[in-house]
Copies of this chain bind each other. A is one copy, B any other.
Amino acid sequence: MKKTKFDVVVIGGGIIGCSIAYYLAKEKIDVAVLESRQIGSRATSAAAGMLGAHSETDNDHEIFYPFARSSQLEYPRLQEEIKELSGIDIEMQQGGIFKLVYSESEKNQLKSALSLPTVEWYEAEEVRKQEATVSPDIIGAAYIRDDVHVLPASVCRGFSKSAQTLGATILEYTHVLDIQKKDSTYVTKTTSGNLESQLVVVANGVWSSSFFTQLGLQHQLVPVKGECLSVYDERITLKHTLFHDHCYIVTRNDGRLVIGATMVEDDWSENPTLAGIESLIAKAKTMLPAVTGMKVESFWAGLRPQTLDQNPFIGHHPDQEGILFATGHFRNGILLAPATGQMIRDLILKKEVKKEWVEAFKVDRGMHALV
């Protein structure tokens, strides 16, 4: 007989939803994850998996950086525990990142990053000693040893399988038809039947929009499509991630390079266009000229959920205590998944959560309305 009552129902089986399930299951909270397709098959699989706590921090060193950094620092422990619980290797790859710099003005913009103890400045020759094929046009690079990367689909499957080992229920191919409140209980109507729970967490990325609407909230998430390519060549080896102007070249375990990602606002399609491919090639060439000789292996796209201030929504529905949101992670879903899972766990367990994070990520924070 199928189980129909849970403490918590999580809508969305991407890396955010699965992280939440994992952290809740570790606390013996009875959780079910509802995913309309396969676990981790959409934005999660499309991501390159950079844990760019430093490289993705532009100016916000007060809120974003400490939250991102705490999430990044959780990964080494996760790697071991997930391997132990599920047999899955999240393929965390050392090497770090070179944030390439082509001019003094670009270097100036990195000033505050370079003041961090975890960020080092490399002159061009030093960069080339590490990566001989890097562009001759750089004047140097910020080197960040800690901004390593992982294989996102494996992190997500690792969370999901570990959560199951710890008692969680995962329901794939399950479409949510409606969320209804009955006394103090939520009934989530789905194509796999009705599920009852005290709490519902909405965590399905840009597709969370329909639940904002349905649950009486104005906010909308805007998709920002990211297109990627992977390439391979027997003769070219890259040991560090290269990064410039929101574009990166990341190596995989097997020597493939992943080049990503474009930023196409308000496009709901999950297929790359020729324009996207063209701009990726142009950007990759400026970092690694030899890339043009590499063989194309595949291409894909995913939708990042963007909020108006580009910070995620993590917190309670302003009027309904039993509904929580964990979405809007924009470019940083992989990086922020552990900290998001922990924060939702703490909110549910009423443990202490840093006030500035609660404020910054709350659903009803002051943002100018979306046009």
Contacts and interface: CB of A to CB of B under 8 A. Distances in A.
Interface string A266-292: 011111111101100110110000011
Contacts of A95: 87
A106 to B, nearest CB: 24
A214 B178 contact: yes
Given A253-B91, A255-B161, A277 B281 contact: yes
Contacts of A170: 234-235
Interface stretch (A56-64, A65-73, A139-147, A152-160): A152-160
A277 B277 contact: yes
Interface string A226-270: 000101001101110000000000010111000000000001111
B172 A234 contact: yes
A87 B239 contact: yes
Contacts of A272: 295-296
A81 interface: no
A253 B154 contact: yes
A175 interface: yes
A39 interface: yes
Given A87-B255, A255-B86, A255-B161, A189 B174 contact: no
A207 interface: yes
A223 B190 CA distance: 13
Contacts of A229: 274
A269 B151 contact: no
Given A86-B237, A170-B235, A234-B157, A177 B213 contact: yes
A273 B294 contact: yes
Contacts of A178: 210, 213-214
A95 B231 CA distance: 32
A133 to B, nearest CB: 13
Nearest to A158: B255
B296 A274 contact: yes
A274 B294 contact: yes
A295 B273 contact: yes
- What is the copy number of this chain in the assembly? 4
B274 A284 contact: yes
A172 B281 CA distance: 24
Contacts of A88: 253-255
A175 B36 CA distance: 14
Interface in A91-114: 91, 93, 95
Contacts of A37: 270
Interface string A69-88: 00000000000000000111
A44 to B, nearest CB: 13
A164 interface: yes
A366 interface: no
A79 B191 CA distance: 37
A237 B275 contact: no
A342 interface: no
A281 B284 contact: no
B274 A293 contact: yes
Nearest to A236: B161
A192 interface: yes
B268 A87 contact: no
10 smallest CB-CB distances across A and B, nearest first, come from: A173-B268, A275-B292, A271-B295, A89-B253, A173-B269, A177-B210, A154-B254, A87-B239, A278-B281, A274-B292
8 contacts: A38-B269, A86-B255, A160-B234, A161-B237, A164-B235, A175-B207, A178-B210, A271-B295
